[in-house]
Structure 1
């Protein structure tokens, strides 16, 4: 039995349909609106069957695990680092793999430009699954969509969410080939860490987004950048911390939280391990 939502740790936003209609009728906003979006981690038994078509484009980004989708053209397997694009006005179905359920970022969009964009980008029911080179960038934008929709349903927030969703679609249209160049994958992973410095990102998550085993990904990362993943992440955080210690009067606890350490005492220990001095001692040094 497939279930549409209700997964531990999920995030889901559904814009009220009167607000959708209002937004689509406003001058300058009719081109695209995010109607629904969310994040489903390890979504056991997740799926939807829509024999009656809906009016929204559905985009599912699988970052871990596996699943499947069906369109009038047949059934397609979906794996980690792949994206499902289901055009509006067509029946479809999709679901998580029974043994290795997917983790999804997803959104639905509607708007006057969707149909022509899909035709130009060759996003059809015949080829609903594609793998993109820079999944890290796509996931960052999907996160942005959800964050804006969580903020409120005012026109500025909906415009910002629509902008991020449009960026996702253009990336998917422009970058249709799975990357075999592992150096690109590692650089994208490093960039993802740089832009998600406060988040708890595991090596396994990064490896899954690159469609590599954790051990293989870890070896490639260290060979290319010279440091293990978690040590590199610590270096990024400490660099940001030093900048704030040098340029602001913020408390150590506030800086710790801003660089991904809710526990300021743990942050201080990590800082001393790297710099051989405490954050306060570093701040009091004469520099420049």
Structure 2
């Protein structure tokens, strides 16, 4: 069996960038991008008869993002079905094959990545909680496609140091659209698309001057207190009230920085009647008291 088998007839509108070896070596020597950089990338629309087989894999990460149609990826005895909205990352040196569905061929944006962070990228994107490999579904985003086009067009201008830096420093933001799609996509508040956690955070932001409770927050998103608390911690890593207090202190920093309010007045603006409690809360989060924060920021105002 040959080390590589490829079959296609070419695809109208296809685009591909093949980064030269000497440029890849240059990327390895550039500290800002040596952890993750592109070695190949491309776009195959309606890729009828698209097929690759690599019995020994390759040394880079392969990222396949399907935006239309269907296809498949074969890893050992596991076949992963791909459809519009699916993304999958193949680990380096993994034997594999993949191809387009013959009746409804996929449209894919794809990358080959190299660098010291390749395995971390796979772990972050795939977030595999099952024993069997499976594609990850993400919402479509025009911004994600625009980022792809921006990187591609930058490479078309050549492999100058500035072009290599710009294209490859864009990768983390592009990958964030797969790792954290709920943060990446633009939510329309009130449209019903925002998650309960994001609606709860919006409620907190709108009530920073109030002394709200956990029950208040849970009721704002129509969830039981216990279920909401578990879900919120799972999504953010914080208990709801702890998160609310972080938002409060963030607002306090703005007030201390941009206003002439006394410390007790800042506390009152945040719905905290006890200035001593406010100072303790502030110092716990920021490492200094409100007065010390104002002083170290170079703002000498009445306290």
Task: Determine if the TM-score, normalized by the shorter chain, exceeds 0.5.
Answer: yes
Matched, 1:137 2:136: no
CA distance in 2, matches of 1:136, 1:73: 35
For normalisation by structure 1, the TM-score amounts to 0.56
- Which residue of structure 2 lines up, in the alignment, with residue 55 of structure 1? 59
In the TM superposition, what are the counterparts of 1:135-174 in structure 2 within 5 Å?
135-174=141-180
Residues 86 and 128, structure 1, Cα contact 8 Å, conserved in 2: no
Matched, 1:67 2:71: yes
* Per-residue deviation, 1:111: 0.7
* Per-residue deviation, 1:143: 1.7
- Which residue of structure 1 lines up, in the alignment, with residue 94 of structure 2? 90
CA RMSD of aligned residues (A): 2.9
In the TM superposition, what are the counterparts of 1:227-266 in structure 2 within 5 Å?
none
How many residues align? The count is 183
Q: Answer 1 or 2: higher relative contact order, Cα 8 Å, separation at least 6.
A: 1
CA distance in 2, matches of 1:86, 1:166: 18
* Per-residue deviation, 1:52: 0.9
CA distance in 2, matches of 1:95, 1:147: 26
CA distance in 1, matches of 2:89, 2:9: 19
For 2:112, what is the secondary structure of its paired residue? strand
CA distance in 1, matches of 2:104, 2:9: 17
* Per-residue deviation, 1:36: 0.5
CA distance in 2, matches of 1:19, 1:4: 28
CA distance in 2, matches of 1:18, 1:117: 24
Residues 81 and 135, structure 1, Cα contact 8 Å, conserved in 2: no
User: Which residues of structure 1 form unaligned runs of 5+?
Assistant: 186-288
CA gap of 1:83–1:170, structure 2 versus 1, over 3 A, is same
Residue-by-residue CA offset, 1:58-91 (whole Å, 9 max, x unaligned): 1122111110111236001111121122122212
For 2:67, what is the secondary structure of its paired residue? strand
User: Which residues of structure 2 form unaligned runs of 5+?
Assistant: 194-303
Match of 1:102 among 103, 106, 130: 106
Matched, 1:31 2:42: no
CA distance in 2, matches of 1:153, 1:17: 11
For 1:90, what is the secondary structure of its paired residue? coil
